[in-house]
Amino acid sequence: MCIRDSTYISTTALADSGGTKIEKNVDGIKVDLILSSDTVKTGDNELTIKLYDEKGQALENANVKVTADMSSNDMGNMNMDNSKPGAIDFKPGHEKGEYTGNVNFSDKGNWTIKTDFTVANQEKMADFDVKVADSGPNWLIIGAFLGVVVLIIIVAAISKNKKKASAA
């Protein structure tokens, strides 16, 4: 039996961790998707899924499978080969009922995090919509490259001045 819930309950900014939590309820099971930052960007992102029963008790030993799939509406502008759905390897986290994994969002746009989990021998599903922003340029790499270029120019200028001084 497969039960699917796509009802959006809430999105809350997590003040203590600087992340975002999206909550869903599937047949009395509370499913939280926790993103490691307020803004999800292209590249690697850490995700956490937390599962609780109707009494708020953490659900352990759930078989959790997660995939990330880019919305078909956004694929028209992107290279579809790079935006293929990818399975995310989720492992039990540090707390009871917590499962963590990393996802690499290849493109900016709307993505769906699809979670399948088995509780009491029943398969359940919850989908979470996530907006992924472009990570932008890596300023550390750009800065290092520019620093090397400036250093080469300075060394060349000093060498040229030494040659002029020794020729005179």
In this prediction, the residues of the chain whose per-residue pLDDT falls under 50 are 1-17, 78-82
User: According to the model, what pLDDT value does residue 30 have?
Assistant: 94
User: According to the model, what pLDDT value does residue 23 have?
Assistant: 93
User: According to the model, what pLDDT value does residue 84 have?
Assistant: 55
User: According to the model, what pLDDT value does residue 52 have?
Assistant: 93
pTM of the model: 0.63
The predicted-structure confidence for 147-158, as pLDDT tens digits, reads as follows 999 999 999 989
Contact 49, 66 (CB under 8 A): yes
User: According to the model, what pLDDT value does residue 51 have?
Assistant: 93
User: According to the model, what pLDDT value does residue 154 have?
Assistant: 93
H-type helices in the chain, by residue range?
A: 139-167
User: According to the model, what pLDDT value does residue 1 have?
Assistant: 42
Strand-pairing partners, residue 97, are: none
